Chain A
Amino acid sequence: MVNHNAAIPGAQGGLEMTGNPNKGARRQPVVVLGTIGHDAHIVGSSVVRFALEEAGFKVVFLGAVVPPEEFIAAAKESAADAILVSSLYGMARIDCADFGAKCEEAGLGHVRLYLGGILVTDPEEWPQTEALFRSYGFHRVYPPQTKPGVAIADLKADLGLSA
């Protein structure tokens, strides 16, 4: 299997985590990324992945058709700072229902949870949609057409990284 995650310290923007409760020493910030549930869409999350790597993050990329439990297992093993969940097939409501609670249970309460993709079909529903997924434990929820740079800027701010 080709390793796309070769992390060269300082090579990409020199991002380092300090003051993170999980770490003493500095290290490259880690993000777990994948498409959740029975969703086979991988292009969107691949675009986000490359953008994150360009911005200096270490990305643990899980691909598509990823059960919630695998996000959590990967986040534990990699001591992830954030989990970015992609969902494009309109069933996020089912796949993400207790995602925040599961993370809490797994000792990942300090990990930032982001969700994006095509979560609903009707844009007018967005405020309710956003509220619903925030109630599931997601700290940030993005509507369709959000550029990766927006989420990356939010991530840097949330993690206390320089822009």
Chain B
Amino acid sequence: MELSVAIDFGSTFTKGALLDLAGAELVGAAYEPSTVGTDVRVGLRAVLRRLEAAAKRSLKDLPTYVCSSAAGGLRIAVIGLVPTLSLEAAQRAALGAGAKIIGAYGHKLPTSTVRAIEASRPDLVLLAGGIDGGDEDTILHNARALAKSSITAPIIVAGNNAVSDDCCALLSSAGKSALQAPNILPEIDRIEIEQVHATIRELFVRHITRAKGIESTAEEVRLVSEIIPTPSAVLRACELLSKGTPDRKGWGDLVIADIGGATTDIHSASTGSPTKPGALLRGLPELFLKRTVEGDLGMRANAATIIERVGAGPIVGLANSLTGKTLVEQDLRDYAEHIAANTDFVPANDAQVALDAALARSAIKLAMERHAGRIREVFTTAGPALVQYGKDLSNVMTVIGVGGVLAHGRHGHFALEGVVRTPSAEEMLCPLRPRFLIDRSYLLYAVGLLADVAPTAAFDIGAKLMVAAN
């Protein structure tokens, strides 16, 4: 046996897993309510005790890997120039680094916006704007505005390289912590995020883990690598399962749909290149690993919003297709009101289970449509031309579902079918014929944490733990 421990400090629970890398097996898993708000070590020790019971040995000397989304996760305010260009690129960079975007602002920031950023208390600010050799005025203006502000968070300057030094100098001389990174949008059609990701990772380890109170983890376990944001671990798992290892064939184009109480998140591993011959690819380039977070599509917090966007009739229709009962729109609205007020509510009867599944499917459909690209036919005098924006995910063969409604509910397959392209939305490049798996044990984070140190074992563990949806 070659044992390792994986820990996730979630917002609600602290989770732990004990894994045998030699046999690619899960030895034990445990979760306890999070104590990050008071002393992280209390919840952590409770989890470790349970794992020790399963292992029948102490865990103190075992290599341990940790991720965290506790205390609000990695909260970043993003500033760019044109919303569809440098600001969008900066948002993609931040999301790809596992961050939670608490604000995104384009053009020259007025004072009121700077006040809003101050009030939101970000962990980090990502300042972009202008391609190399392009606009200088906007990022300089914004650097001056940030220099005059009361913001104390580190600021990563990742815009027009012609004025990077000047922006950093403006910020440093005002006592701000400013770090330079290469332009995230060096050319109008190129995104560069690697260095920004490395800088964000470093800042997360050096400052943010301390600020969130999880730095003391190192006293309790044998931490052998840096703590990363939980979404980064999930993205790493997505990449590993998609690409495989030298010894394991990957699963190809892959989507992870994570439906939670507060948000619905989609991750995709795919180049997203056109599947329709001759399609012209337009717009900002997409990243192979893409993550989108829909803050208005949480299963509990935003049930009413999901109903508003999709329509009560269609959602009730979906629920009725499961139960055979005749639920009406008022039943749905009553349920939505109840779960918004009781966000940890667990469905108690068939009707509620069906309504949950219908809401989940609707949220997943909307989130997938926002994540995936679009294709349009334009009629030119030379004949029709196809224009594609974003990622073509038609050939995604595997969709992994994460979230309580999928792991514990009875209609996981039904809910995940929301990702499939529908005839009424042919222009959305959503998957056509995927198989559906569910992360029933909530262990994707562990697969991601081990992906670099033991890729084949992590892949095998992932393959075992992602089970076919019912």
Contact = CB atoms under 8 A, between A and B. Distances in A.
Interface of A: 1, 3, 5, 7, 22-25, 27-28, 30, 38-41, 58, 60, 62-66, 69-70, 73-74, 76-80, 89-91
A89 B280 contact: no
A63 B189 CA distance: 11
Nearest to A79: B135
Interface of B: 81-82, 84-86, 129-137, 162, 185, 187-190, 280, 282, 285, 378-382, 385, 387
Contacts of A30: 133-134
Contact of B137 (A22, A66, A89): A22
B187 A3 contact: yes
A73 B137 contact: no
B380 A3 contact: no
Contacts of B85: 73-74, 76-77
Contacts of A28: 133
Contacts of B137: 22, 79
B385 A78 contact: no
Contact of B280 (A23, A65, A73, A77): A65
B29 to A, nearest CB: 43
A76 B81 contact: yes
Contacts of B385: 38, 40, 65
A38 B185 CA distance: 26
B133 A38 contact: no
- Chain A contact residues, majority secondary structure: loop
Given A28-B133, A38-B380, 8 more contacts: A1-B189, A7-B132, A30-B134, A65-B280, A65-B385, A76-B81, A78-B133, A79-B134
Contact of A77 (B131, B378, B381, B387): B131
Given A89-B381, A89-B382, A76 B135 contact: yes
Given A1-B190, A40-B280, A65-B280, A78 B134 contact: yes
A65 B387 contact: yes
Contacts of B189: 1, 3
7 contacts: A28-B133, A30-B134, A40-B380, A41-B382, A73-B85, A78-B135, A80-B134
B188 A60 contact: yes
B379 A77 contact: no
Given A30-B133, A65-B282, A77 B190 contact: no
B134 A38 contact: no
A71 B137 CA distance: 19
B133 to A, nearest CB: 5
A89 B190 CA distance: 29
Given A5-B187, A77-B131, A89 B380 contact: yes
A66 B86 CA distance: 18
A91 to B, nearest CB: 8
Of residues A23, A25, A28, A76, which shows the largest number of chain B Cβ atoms within 10 Å of its Cβ? A76
B81 A74 contact: no
A80 B81 CA distance: 14
A16 to B, nearest CB: 11
A28 to B, nearest CB: 6
Contact of A3 (B82, B135, B190, B282): B190
A124 to B, nearest CB: 21
Contacts of A64: 280
Contacts of B185: 77
Given A40-B382, A77-B82, A79-B130, A63 B188 contact: no
A63 B282 contact: yes
B387 A7 contact: no
B131 A78 contact: yes
A70 to B, nearest CB: 8
Nearest to B186: A3
B74 to A, nearest CB: 26
A10 to B, nearest CB: 13
A27 to B, nearest CB: 6
Contact of B81 (A38, A66, A77): A77
Contacts of A78: 130-131, 133-135, 188
Nearest to A90: B381
B63 to A, nearest CB: 39
A20 B129 CA distance: 20
B133 A77 contact: no
Given A3-B187, A77-B81, A63 B280 contact: yes
Of residues A3, A38, A62, which shows the largest number of chain B Cβ atoms within 10 Å of its Cβ? A38
Contacts of A79: 130, 134-137
Contacts of B162: 25, 27
Contacts of A22: 135, 137
Contacts of B285: 1
B246 to A, nearest CB: 28
Nearest to B87: A77
B133 A7 contact: yes
Contact of B133 (A3, A39, A58): A58
Contacts of B130: 77-79
